[in-house]
Amino acid sequence: MSRIPINSILRPTRNSILPKACTSARLPRFCPSTTGPFRAAHGRSFSAAWASSEGRGVRMKVSYLFGGLAGLGMLLTIYGLLEYYFSLSTWPEPVRTPLKAALKARNRGDIELAERYFKKAIDAALSLPTSSLEPNPLLKITGIYVTLSSMLESDGQLVKSYIALREAFLLCGPRALEADYAMAPGQWGQVAFEEHRRAIGLAQRIGQLALHISTSRLPPAYPSYNETIATPTTLETQSIIDKKSWDEAAEHFLEKALTAMLHLGLTSEGKNRVVVGRDINLPDSLPDDEDNGRVDKRGLGITMESLAEVYAKKGRYDLAMQLILQAISILLPPQKQDVEIKDQCQAALLMTTLSSHLLHPPSEQNLKHSRSWSLEALRLSERALKEKGLTMENAVCTRARSVAIYDMGIISEMQGDLTTAEKYFAQAIDYAREVGFPEARREASEGLKRVRIQQEKKR
């Protein structure tokens, strides 16, 4: 597959850290100035990285606090609508009987029994001729895998959940994500658009789940291609899943999903620089219960955000920041004035991530830019909270505000301004306590303690 679309949004050069990145992305309305009044900005944070203040002997941990935002609906879900299919009696009896038993066992909490019946349903479906599963046989069978994966994930069995999704993806064929997918028929016949979209959704979710597992305290071993449920692997499909680590798998699948969506939505491949919020023609948002993945602008932004985390873990902060800037352009499209509160809040989170990434390396110029993004995230989140008050719609803004203030404390500490750092850390503790954000409260408390120890030493 051509990498032109993904290259058109990534310029891997250290020189494009902020002002140049803002200029090239043509986002002046959302790029903070480092010399005058600020206009608008947004952020979010993940994982953990070390930043050192050169020349001062200070070494501190910059924590990315938002790895667990799935509960706020910010991660992709593509759960299958098996109950819908079942209610219409579209399944042949050899599949319907174990599938019905699986759903009943799942609904009463017997996960082990449900898993066995789901696998029986999969075996039965794969043994039947394609014609007996019409219409949409591939969507139906992958839907069983997705529902099994969802159940296993909710039960904390993440590796099994990942394997189920990976098996579903393999059924789509080795070229289901390619731009010319319709010219590459798989075992289920010619790949239709809905099946192409399903493959993209699966790649999104596989990449995100691999990333989630990779960031756990003690990640389990990555499952080899021999660990399958029912689908036989070939030399062609083996190369798709024969990865050495969770990080490698996350990068592979997220890049594939992103490239496929860019191919779908890019209005002109002739542009030297693509701004996703302006140049990508995808639906703004599909229904949350869509069974074919989030192949829309919001799903594209989520994929970019996840891939940015992968790059940041590898130390490629230049690529991570450019992806985040593009994700911001989706939430805050250029020239669009009436932006929904929830998008402003999510953009504020993304800007705190950008602020954190700019501390690598923590040069004086980068500290200045990092401070600019944190201040803009703070301004934007506080404005949203002031306009609407604390609601479910803008709850994310409360976290963005807490992290922005915490980041301001970190930056002040790195610049040697301990008095200001103490003020910001104390403020961050109060905000975190007010909104029930224990991670931010813990991090800010550690920062406050660290700063006060340094102040004592200077007295």
Structure confidence by residue, pLDDT tens digits, 345-390: 888 989 999 999 999 988 999 999 999 999 999 999 998 888 877 6
Residue with tokens 């599909």: 286
What structural domains and CATH numbers belong to the chain? 15-67+341-458 (1.25.40), 82-279 (no CATH)
The chain-wide mean pLDDT, for the chain, equals 76
Residue 297's alpha-carbon distances to 29, 149, 328, in angstroms, are: 20, 25, 11
Q: What is the DSSP letter of 86?
A: H
Bond preceding residue 334 cis, omega within 30 of 0:
no
Residue 89's SS3 state is: coil
Q: What token pair was written down for 264?
A: 């779908």
Indicate the helix (H) or strand (E) that contains 60.
strand 58-63
Is 90 exceeded by the pLDDT of residue 9? Answer: no
- Of all residues in the chain, what percent carry a pLDDT higher than 70? 68
Q: What token pair was written down for 280?
A: 């990508």
Residue 95's alpha-carbon distances to 124, 230, 367, 384, in angstroms, are: 6, 14, 60, 50
Among 219, 205, 222, smallest CA distance to 306 is for 205
> Picking from 158-172, 179-193, 357-371, which range would have the lowest pLDDT averaged per residue?
179-193
Among 349, 302, 345, 344, smallest CA distance to 327 is for 302
Quick one: residue 293, left, alpha or beta (phi over 0 = left, psi -120 to 50 = alpha)?
left
pTM of the predicted model as reported, rounded to 2 decimal places: 0.77
Is 90 exceeded by the pLDDT of residue 162? Answer: yes
Per-residue pLDDT averaged across 81-107, rounded?
A: 78
Indicate the helix (H) or strand (E) that contains 53.
strand 48-53
Q: What token pair was written down for 201?
A: 């959704």
Residue 284's SS3 state is: coil
Pairwise CA distance, residues 130 & 195, whole Å: 15
